[in-house]
Amino acid sequence: MVPTCATRGKGVEGLVRELLSLLPEGPPLYGPDVLTDRTERFLAGELIREQLFLRLRQELPYATAVMVESWTDRPAGDTVIEASIVVERESQKAIVVGRHGSMIGEVGTAGRQEIAKFLGRPVHLRLNVRVEEDWTNSRAEIARMGYREGDS
């Protein structure tokens, strides 16, 4: 038994030491230069999604996903990405598009800049918004959007 206090953070180091002593040793699952098991496509979608939440805050519910529909690395050294922002209702689509396309324009510009920084090369980003009603209530749809069990 390892006494701990979660509210005060007491005993946590002892708990971690005890848990580590119980774990079997083995080879690393990934090399030291591997940051994630996710693809560049998935991470690009998450960078776009991040821009939505930074700009829309409480207006947009967490029922938004970004699907990268196509990805083309061109010989010139740049990348062309087409992505769809998926929402559950027409009213959400209107919020994401914004007045005269202003919001989707802001999201696209900021998303393109973040993806270019991440990839280290120029990026051309084309975004569209589509409605897929109740996609968050279907495990199959959640998986199709690229999310796995336990993702938040």
What pLDDT, in 10s, does the model give residues 85-142? 999 999 999 999 999 999 999 999 999 999 999 999 999 999 999 998 888 787 888 7
List pLDDT tens digits, range 27-72: 988 888 888 888 999 999 999 999 998 998 776 657 789 999 999 9
CA distance 147 to 139: 9
Report, at the CATH architecture level, how domain 40-144 is classified: 2-Layer Sandwich (3.30)
pLDDT(149) > 70: no
Residue 42's closest CA among 65, 73, 74, 72?
65
Predicted local confidence at residue 79, as pLDDT:
97
Of residues 107 and 147, which shows the higher confidence score? 107
Q: What is the pTM of this model?
A: 0.74
The counts of H helices and E strands in the chain are 5, 3
CA distance 91 to 47: 23
Of residues 152 and 39, which shows the higher confidence score? 39
CA distance 79 to 125: 8
Sheet containing 65-73: order of strands: 65-73, 79-87, 123-131
The domain segmentation of the chain, as residue ranges, is 40-144
What helix, strand, coil percent values describe the chain, rounded to 5?
Answer: 45, 20, 35
Alpha helices (runs of H) in the chain, residue ranges in sequence order: 12-22, 40-56, 90-97, 102-119, 139-144
What confidence tier does 8 reach under pLDDT thresholds 50, 70, 90?
A: confident
